[in-house]
Structure 1
């Protein structure tokens, strides 16, 4: 759990200690601590939800966001610890001098404005500012949506092809000529296996072209599968996706099996033997 939530749970407890103890807090500090505690409790609850999702089903942006919160939590803990050390033993400064110095160096950005070690109010504002930036990224990249509906092997759709499934081929503009050229390359009566590569820079519509071509030609084949493959693909998942698309009736539970790549390849070959098929 700590690998995901970092030091947030510990910080919340220490902030509660600050509120409960008779420390000489500056005016308004109590309200700031309460506000910070609410922010941390919200982040902590969300990180616990992330912890319930298998790591391989988490979107990369979710992992980056969680890492930012976790790292920030350790900085926050140092801020609170620094104040507690000073508040509990304010007189013998020399005794804590080295420890305070190390803490200050470790969290230099939080004390970049020469915040005094006893100035918990300013430290809290620095922490809240950092939390706000992280929260804005959570909203900007729709982290909540990814965690609420984690990518599962059977339902994962690559973000690159999501627009394709929501756009009618008849509404696509500027690809008719390219589509017809690809169709001509594939529409031969011989039984030879044909491979057509669609190359180009990102965002040019390669996937859209492939999907439009597939939709128009699939009725001419006994079976077909449309599977998106990333730069560093999980081959086992790719083979399972292909099998699922080719034969949903008999491969409905393919993603829950523990079959390896070799066995999946043999299963694919057996299924495709003597069939006319298309795999874009």
Structure 2
């Protein structure tokens, strides 16, 4: 069987679990001797799937957890191949149904279950659940945060690009009033992009009606970004807008920024 690489959590085990459920529901008397083994296999895979779902929330996985996850992925492919074969035999014509023996199916299911049990034992031995529980909910520190509070006297080589950027943003101001102006500061990490943006932001902020400096992560929460902008440019507090949906946040931003010049850094 050709397999498509899919999400570890939802794309690998869920189809297999679903097929095992279907196999249990098939009306074939020779399944009666193996239904307990199939049910046991299905339950163990469901337990593993619950753990795999948590992996999607963790960016930096322990090497042992990664190896275990990959092992489960490969194991799920083997199980799916075998279950597909069983379903093909059971759901076929009388000749195909007669060609499969209940004890042979039971033996193969037991072998698969033994492999799953070994993976489950490894999960318990290395306390994967405890490791993941301690990792979930830990918010990583934005690596750009120190740049926001860098001391001016410690900044080296930033004067020239700051002057050039300010000149670009402020020359011909009458014309710039009529259109949106976007400047991107690009480069490798650690070159001082955030520091430069912060310096320009502080230098020319007084020339605008309002301004906002908002940190945007690689996986941005759009609703949170809108709320942070509103808090920066208005007198609203977080509690007043915390429950607002994106549409209401956008409408409030449009209303407030009408006929205003905004200096926004993100």
**Structure 2 length normalisation: TM-score?**
0.49
